[in-house]
Chains A and B, each alone.
Chain A
């Protein structure tokens, strides 16, 4: 089988060199099991989420009043930069791609592990030093030029902090490239032979699109950042106009990566959505092919829209117009997905579990963020609101309302699989309600702030904006508070929750057909595909008791033997 020749190093382990079950300390060290790596990603990234969240609370506290009175403005910019950096590079990307990607992809395609388990572990272990560099930079005052690090500002402010920041991002970028190669090869080579391409779970399709994007775009970011590092430390002048360099070239390099990066942060979430909506609505996904191909369409068109972040920069008219049109086009495949999920809910038998609530909350807010994205895509309007709080509102609707809600949904949905225990539904629902209200309270008023004239990335603002800013600050406090029920629920139920069994959701994808948590090499037998991943409503047997499912699996297993 394909697996054999691809996993030479892994075969050692397969010959029984690993223990029956991992002990707690195995999770804290180099480990090649994709499930351990997935959990490592999830837990570390969540720690960064908390740190970056506290930074945001300090920023909102500063913005409670128009004057810069709580924090030193240099400090404010350091918080701003590291909040954005951590949320993107150390929370959403590693949690969605590293965490759920690693945990789920091999299980969903019936493989024993990723194609290159050692590469996988190495990719993860690039993250702790990267995080350490970023945290070290804070002790030198931190990078202060925003997560975009535009020169010349990044060349002239806090060189040490900025250099550490660059090294940190280049490391996580490398990790992301290694991860992408691994996902692509895993899906293409290790998919269990009796699974056809149109039985591939949509999460895996999303991971294909994500990996292609990361592979094409991340090296370009690395180039831009390395040149920046040289400009700062070694006297080159790539981005120094006085030495004949161009600051606009940096922006092109940066956004050629960073626009696709926004899709890196949402495509896996789209995949998660497709899994969760169909399972909890008990209905086949509506338009499987449309959803799978629209991921690829977003991936391709998404490579050609980056200048919409530079409509007010040094860009000629034709470029502003070309990228207006390409950006508007991305909205079409995005819309297809949204409509398909709504249609999946339509006519279903919806169970109001916490993952479903988060998924529907995501849907509701993403519609809004997508619409504001379309307005931003038109250059004539974007020229007014670019670099204002309107943009801040837009990307928090898609990133907080989208990606973070998606990660929460996924954590609840796969918690029984990962830990073998059930979370507490009531606390989950409370968490949802608080987060949903908090998100809208914090980010809705920002649209108006931006349009009325408040630019982004400022520590002091015009007094006329005070009232709306105070609403945002109250919202952020609610958001900060909303993490508590989540944390308590997770920690408590991981230790003491009710055992969940193999398949508490009666889901049809493969990861639910093995034990919870799955054994070290996932499946005792090569799994057999006896239903499409979303064939709800034909095979009512799958809905009978737990025992039946297991018996059926056993039967099937025996037949194969």
Chain B
């Protein structure tokens, strides 16, 4: 063939492009830096899933966008060419290929998600543990109906089996949580009640490396309890108690955010989660047992210290119509 010029073989080009795309995707999957710090046991699990999806997504993105840009340049109409392009209506094997590959990818992601969700505690294995090991201690409680308050668990620490949210994973489900806190969302604050010490607070204080369970309720409208650094979230639903169970892996102060539209000051419904060392936490409990029922100033002041923007809620306090009475009434 006379017109054939000396060119780089196309298989070589394909190989290079493939390697390049794979390299960039893997690198970006690992180094996207889009998610905040990881403070819970669940966080690295979720981030692994996300990073995997970013890797696959980047590769697909580069290939498809690359193909579009390439086509636009290579197959642009040349000046004066008024003819149509060749009459190609499809390519069955190619179509099967690009249906099958995404199908495999999403099935893989689906299986991975289910497994991950179980590790996060999504299946709340407490119920299963109760049902399958009637010999063990917590489990004497098996007879109680699923969603109701179990009288024996109640005696042991006010433990409630909730139907919705993140609960015990296959490991933690074997034991009772170290600390339970009752969380209540009101327009526009979170109230935290510690049943074992009777403390009520506007910030969530917990010890590090302990198994924490939150029983989440809503007083008025739906709120959503979100800990961005923990990668967990659960709606607070009027008429239903939901839960989140987690272990903090580091000390520090992080935001608690309401993620469900709950009214005009929804954006101001933020507070902090403070993770102490065990000793500090014990001290905090001591200090606060004395001042049991917080008066109005204290609670609102507590909710008004987001991580780096102090006095956040203060300006709105008057608009909110929260006063000492209504707070007392809630407790």
Contact = CB atoms under 8 A, between A and B. Distances in A.
A411 interface: no
B303 interface: no
Interface of B: 34-36, 45-46, 49-50, 53, 57, 60-61, 64-65, 67-68, 71-72, 75-78, 81-91, 94-95, 98-99, 102-103, 106-107, 109-110, 113-114, 116-117, 120, 122-124, 163-164, 166, 220-222, 224, 226, 228-229, 231-235, 237-240, 242, 255, 257-268, 270, 306-309, 312
A452 B107 CA distance: 28
29 contacts: A74-B264, A152-B220, A153-B221, A283-B85, A284-B87, A285-B89, A286-B88, A315-B164, A324-B117, A325-B110, A328-B106, A335-B99, A339-B64, A345-B75, A348-B75, A349-B76, A352-B76, A378-B49, A379-B122, A380-B113, A381-B46, A387-B259, A387-B261, A452-B36, A453-B229, A456-B261, A457-B267, A462-B308, A537-B86
Given A248-B237, A339-B98, A314 B85 contact: no
Closest 6 CB pairs of A and B: A241-B239, A458-B267, A537-B87, A453-B228, A73-B264, A328-B106
Nearest to B254: A453
Interface in A525-561: 534-538, 540, 543
B87 A281 contact: no
A490 to B, nearest CB: 26
A460 B267 contact: yes
Contact of B231 (A352, A368, A383): A383
A540 B83 contact: yes
A211 to B, nearest CB: 25
A536 B84 contact: yes
Contacts of B240: 241, 248, 314
Contacts of B61: 367-368, 371
Contacts of A76: 264
Nearest to A145: B261
Most chain-B Cβ atoms within 10 A of its Cβ — which of A73, A368, A455, A463? A455
A349 B81 CA distance: 9
Interface in A177-209: none
B257 A378 contact: no
Contact of A453 (B36, B75, B224, B260): B36
Contacts of A312: 224, 233-235, 259
Interface of A: 66, 68, 72-74, 76-77, 144-146, 150, 152-153, 156-157, 241-242, 246-248, 281-290, 312-317, 320-321, 324-325, 328-329, 331-332, 335-336, 338-340, 342-343, 345-352, 360, 363-364, 367-368, 371, 374-375, 378-381, 383-384, 386-388, 447-448, 451-453, 455-464, 534-538, 540, 543
A328 B110 contact: yes
A320 B237 contact: no
Nearest to B239: A241
Contact of A380 (B34, B116, B222, B242): B116
B76 A350 contact: yes
B98 A336 contact: yes
Given A312-B224, A380-B122, A462 B49 contact: no
A543 B306 CA distance: 67
Most chain-B Cβ atoms within 10 A of its Cβ — which of A153, A315, A329? A153
B89 A543 contact: no
Nearest to B223: A153
B117 A317 contact: yes
B35 A345 contact: no
Given A152-B221, A537-B85, A286 B109 contact: no
Contact of A152 (B95, B163, B164, B238): B238
Contact of A363 (B68, B116, B233, B242): B68
A325 B110 CA distance: 5
